[in-house]
Structures are given as structure tokens and as C-alpha cells.
A and B are shown apart, each in its own frame.
Chain A
Amino acid sequence: MIRVVLPPHLRSLARVGSEISVPVGGAATQRAVLDAIEAAYPMLRGTMRDHVTHQRRALVRFYACERDLSHESPDALLPVLVAEGREPLLVVGAMAGG
């Protein structure tokens, strides 16, 4: 299971607590984790990435293990600690505003 921390607005939308766990079969990549999140919580489709292109929404960030993974390939492997469930993948609304 991959642990994922959602931002507050998406927690409210999905009616979940601060952290969820989703099953990922095969390689633990951003794409696989997002596929698993959207399968378990269909109301989150389109909120983190585009419905069709699957491009990350501009103001959504993916962090883990104190690293910004947002600009990595969606098919790159996530850090081992995330893949092993020892650290969560953080989905973050980017800082914006003044």
C-alpha cells in the first residue's frame, strides 16, 4: 500500500482523513499512484491532473522524502521509502497569492 497525504480541500471532497492508503500493483510510480487514488476516489478525477492528457495541474505539487517530485516523469519510480509504505507521498496545493 502506498500512503498518500491529500491537501485539505481534496480530503473534504473525498471525505477522508489526512492520510489515505491505496494499493498499487507493479511499479510504484506517480502515474500508478494517481491511477489508484482516482479509482478509489472517483470524485478526485481531474483535480490533480487533467482528465485526458494526465498532465499535472499547474498548482499541484507532489513531494516525498523532502524532495519535489512534481517535475519528474509520471513513470519514474517513487522513492523506496514511499514504495515500501514507510513515507507518504504528499499531494500539495502550491503556494500562491500574496
Chain B
Amino acid sequence: MSHVRVLVGTRKGAFVLTSDGARQRWAVDGPHFPGWEIYHVKGSPADPDRLYASQSSGWFGQLIQRSDDGGRTWNPVDNKFTYAGVPGTHMWYDGTPHPWEFKRVWHLEPSLTDRDVVYAGVEDAALFKSADGGASWTELSGLRSHGSGPHWQPGAGGLCLHTIVLDPTNEQRMFVAISAAGAFRTEDGGKSWTAINKGLHSAQIPDPDADVGHCVHRIAMHPSNPQRLYMQKHWDVMRSDNGGDSWYEVSGNLPSDFGFPIDVHAHEPETIYVVPIKSDHFHFPPDGKLRVYRSRTGGNEWEALTNGLPQQDCYVNVLRDAMAVDSLDSCGIYFGTSGGQVYASRDAGDHWTPIVHDLPPVMSVEVQTFA
């Protein structure tokens, strides 16, 4: 029987929400790691019972937890993230060189084919890989040393590598995004990297069209077309049809093109979702209305999805990793808010229902589908 498992990372622990394929009644399990910040929890596509979680604390630092039974039990694995060689410097807020210092893991991306391979995007921005289920981590240092690293500068949220997108047709090819450096692509499994920011325009940096320095918030891809990428940038919703070689804006009629998450319908590669936020100075929805916007045309033409979402006095935020889709026949869309709600739609966004509404602030949402 089909069912779904929603993995929720919050400021104070992780939660596992499960339902059958009807997605009407939910069981809530958690908090796991109560009191700890859980930046991200994600399951292995190669073995759905293998989960990885990033657990951190201002007091006790970073931990990585692994489950081999779908989140019922967890065990800590290696938490030693050491930059390769002499780390060097990036640019600090005041424009001076600043040593690379590991702070936390923002995002864990398990391999599509090997349950023991997992990538970690960290702050200060770098990409690490484990080939032994998290028992050890090695930096893919070609990213930081590809040339522009010393010029990367943190945004207000830190210099974080928060997005890792794997190409399902080519395991040597992946995309990452860094705030506030931009998007990068490798074609050789992480040895060498190319900045892919042509077409991005960011008024917040001295040269709005610079090769690096853009605050990319999130990149999404539909597995059927790895050349098509969608991006929610600090401002602007962007699209690339050539694997990131160039981008063009598809913000169209959005009420605001600032936001954090972007995701793609499981069965319709042209159908994408964003959650507009009023601006970088407000971090809440325009007009107090929580609206998901859907485009069925790969951008530019957007419709507001409001049924079941609060349409007055709503001032929550939705973070970059806090939206996901399931792959049941009627595609489910899920997102979590800074107010502790996790909303679900089992009809591609037409109607929404809160699964839970009183969790700690939600940092990440991932979905596993068991058809």
C-alpha cells in the first residue's frame, strides 16, 4: 500500500510524519534530538530506510545522525569536517580576508544510487562527501579552490552551501548553490567546478552582473530534464534551459519575486512552486497572506494557491529547504513555516491542510514516497 514519510527539521528537533497514500490522517513521531537545531533530514533514494540528519547546537556544535530503520532509531556518525589542506581565506563582511571556519552542516544530499554516499553542504561554504555512510567525511576542495573562493562573502545568514542537486543521468554532474557566492557546477564528481551565474542580476552587489557574489536561495530540477534548472534567487525567480550555462528571469506576475524555496511537480516538469515573501527586509508574506504560487508554464505565468492557507494576519516565513513534493499519482506538495506549521496539499496545490501546526520553527521538509 502506498504511503509517504515527511521528514521535518526544526529549531528544536526532528519530526517524522507518516500517512497512507490518501494523505488525510497523519502520525507524528518526535521530537528526535529534542532541543537541537535540525537543519536538514533526508533519506537515501537507494535505501529509503537510510536517513541522514544534520544536528547542531550553539553549545555543542555539529553532529550527523544516521538511521537505518526509517527514523525509528538513530546513531551518531562522524562529525569531523576538516577543510582540505591550508583552508585559506574568504572575504568577511567588512571586506577583509577571513579564515575559513567550519560552523555547521546546512544540507545533506544522499546519492541517488548508493546508500553509503552522501554529500554535505556546510558553512563556511564547502562541499564534503562521505562514501561510508557518514563514518568519515572528505572535502571536495576543488569547489573552494576553483578560483573565486577568496572573494566569496557571507550574506546575513552566513557563508553557507545550502543546495546540492544531483544529475540523475550523470553521477559525475552536480550543482551547488552558496549564499552569497552563487551557483556552481561540476562535471567530474566534484574535482573541478564552474561558476554558472550568467544572466543573474543582483542589485545588492557592486557589479550586478558579476560572475560570483549572487545570493542564490535555492535550485530545483525535474529528474526528466537535468538541463532545465529553476532558481529562487534573493530577488528574482530564474530559469536555465542549458544546465546553468545561462539564466533568464521568469518572475512574471508574482506579487514579490523574493523568497526562499522553489520546487517542481513530480510529474509535470513545467509546473513549479514558490512562496513569495514581501522582501529581504521583512521575511514574511505580502499583505499577511500565505500564498504558494504555481506556474504550469515553467515560470512567468503564476497563479496564487490559497485554499486552506491563512489569508489574513499571517507573518511566517518559509525557508529554502522547507518545501518538498511526493511522487504519488496526484502529486503532494509540502512546506513548513517559521510558525511551526507543516502544510500539505494532496492535489498539487489546489487545497492545503496543516498536518501539524505547533512545531518549533521549521527549517527543512523532505518527503519520501512509497508507491
Contacts and interface: CB of A to CB of B under 8 A. Distances in A.
Contacts of A7: 59-60
A42 to B, nearest CB: 8
B67 interface: no
B60 A45 contact: no
Interface stretch (A22-30, A46-54, A74-82): A46-54
Interface stretch (B75-83, B233-241, B336-344): B75-83
Contacts of B35: 9
A9 B60 CA distance: 9
A94 B60 CA distance: 10
Contacts of B63: 13, 43, 46-47
A65 interface: no
B61 interface: yes
The SS class assigned to the B binding surface is loop
A64 interface: no
Interface string B52-79: 0000011111110000000000001001
Nearest to A60: B59
Contact of B76 (A43, A57, A60): A43
A93 B58 CA distance: 10
B59 A46 contact: no
A83 interface: no
Interface string B163-187: 0000000000000000000000000
Contact of A94 (B36, B59, B62, B76): B59
Interface residues of A, number: 17
Contact of A48 (B58, B60, B62, B79): B60
B76 A46 contact: no
B80 A45 contact: yes
Interface in A58-79: 59-60
A52 to B, nearest CB: 6
A contact patch SS: loop
Nearest to A61: B59
Contact of B60 (A47, A51, A52): A47
Contacts of A46: 61-63, 79-80
Interface residues of B, number: 13
A89 B119 CA distance: 38
Interface in A2-33: 7, 9-10, 13
A14 to B, nearest CB: 9
Contacts of B62: 46
Contact of B58 (A43, A52, A59): A59
Nearest to A13: B76
Contacts of A9: 35-36, 57, 59-60
Contacts of A45: 79-80
Given A46-B79, A51-B80, A96 B58 contact: yes
A51 B58 CA distance: 16
B344 to A, nearest CB: 30
B118 to A, nearest CB: 18
B278 to A, nearest CB: 27
B60 A60 contact: yes
B35 to A, nearest CB: 6
A59 B59 contact: yes
Contacts of B57: 9
A7 to B, nearest CB: 8
A13 B63 CA distance: 10
19 contacts: A7-B59, A7-B60, A9-B35, A9-B57, A9-B59, A10-B60, A43-B76, A45-B80, A46-B62, A46-B79, A46-B80, A52-B82, A57-B59, A59-B58, A59-B59, A60-B60, A93-B60, A94-B59, A96-B59
Given A9-B59, A93-B60, 12 more contacts: A9-B35, A9-B36, A9-B57, A13-B76, A43-B63, A45-B80, A46-B63, A47-B63, A51-B79, A51-B82, A93-B59, A94-B59
- In order of increasing CB-CB distance, the 10 nearest A-B pairs are A47-B60, A43-B76, A93-B59, A59-B59, A51-B80, A46-B79, A46-B61, A47-B61, A59-B58, A57-B61
Interface of B: 35-36, 57-63, 76, 79-80, 82
Interface of A: 7, 9-10, 13, 43, 45-48, 51-52, 57, 59-60, 93-94, 96
